Chain A
Amino acid sequence: MGLVPESEALQMIKMTLAGLFSTLILISGCATATNEASTDPAAGDEFAAAWDAADAKRQEAAAVGYEWRDTSKMLKKAKTEAEAGNTEAAMKLVAKAHEESADAIEQEARESTLWQSRVPQ
């Protein structure tokens, strides 16, 4: 005979199992909540629109021969991050790529006349 009566031991096992079960439900709920955030259709649409705009800007820079070296890589990485559910990181990369291309286009406009000042006379 143990220290605890048999009926009480059964009771304790039941309570422990119930506790474990609710913890599992809670964890699984959290995980589902995270996945839901990353696959939120609105967030996905926002990313897709931002990505398209940044890529269009990159193409604009490339069309005048002024695309910067890493812009394309950034956009590729942004897609990978978005697919992995890292929406915030993905959006940051897209914003940086967009900004780079805008700077490159400005640089091209600036250089369209400035280059002449460097020609030895």
Chain B
Amino acid sequence: MRKLIVAMTATLMAFGGLALQASPESDRAAFEKYFTDRFKDTPKDDFINGVYSIDAASREQWVEIEEFAPYELSIDAGKAEFEKPFANGKGYGDCFENGGAVRGMYPYWDADRKEVITMELAINECREANGEEPIKYSKGKMADISAYMSFLSRGQLIEVVVPDDPDALAAYERGKEFYYRKRGQLNFSCFDCHGGGSGNLVRADKLSPALGHTSHFPVYRSKWGGMGTLHRRFGGCNRQVRAASFKSQSQIYRELEYFLTYMSNGLAFNGPGARK
């Protein structure tokens, strides 16, 4: 009996160890397979359309909404903001190459700073480097600039890299752990809703699959009546399960974005988007 317990414990530890030590690439392959197996009728590339990739009825409405997309005003406002010179005469174009079509470069691991850099963080760092005040991260002007840059970047592939660097891997692992941990009074993990619960109804709405989740931000959300960034959504999700949320562009949300975007490697960025 004792031998059996020892053997079982060793097996459990081995499996636990596997989960911890799995490479980002094996994580990604298993993640993708989970969703392509779960939604066999959805072509892999279509997961970037979120819940509309698995819900035909909602998709019809969404296609109609896209004809006069609610985020178009935000793209225009973002373009105007992007092209407006800073007080020192420089502008965003001096910080971002390719006229701002750089969504595909983010998020990335900065080995010197030992942290994840997101596009929204880079936008504010550009402002500050040119003597401008930083802007709020969740909505408003930030969402507009992000929407314009994402629009210019449509079609770029998601190609997040986790380099062979213990610090980068640790950041990836922290993001991964955050994603799978249950939290809040309702005791839900991100994956509970958008993995095991994806496709299920919450009241009248289907829960979207996590594959492709970060491709289409920022989004115009009917519930918000306006635009919001990915981190605004992270905060909203946390609060919905009655957990205290973290600040947009906090270290943990950037690491969550790093992990979750990596999971969609190979798919295309298609932001900004429109969601319920």
Q: Which A residues form the contact surface with B (CB < 8 A)?
A: 62, 65-72, 100, 103, 107, 111, 113-121
Contact = CB atoms under 8 A, between A and B. Distances in A.
A118 B191 contact: yes
Contacts of B18: 121
B126 interface: no
B218 interface: no
A107 B183 contact: yes
Contacts of A114: 182
Interface in B157-182: 176-177, 180-182
A45 to B, nearest CB: 29
Interface string B205-248: 00000000000000000000000000000000011001111100
Contacts of B86: none
Contacts of B195: 118, 120
Interface of B: 16, 18-20, 22, 27, 30-31, 33-34, 176-177, 180-185, 187, 189, 191-192, 195-196, 238-239, 242-246, 252
B244 A62 contact: yes
Given A118-B195, A120-B30, A69 B19 contact: no
A121 to B, nearest CB: 6
B112 to A, nearest CB: 26
Question: DSSP class of B's interface residues: helix, strand, loop or mixed?
Answer: helix
Contacts of B184: 68-69
A111 B182 contact: yes
Given A107-B182, A116-B19, A118-B180, A70 B33 contact: no
A70 B35 CA distance: 33
A66 B243 contact: yes
Nearest to A111: B181
Closest 4 CB pairs of A and B: A116-B19, A120-B34, A115-B180, A67-B244
Contact of B244 (A72, A107, A118): A72
Contacts of A68: 184-185, 242-244
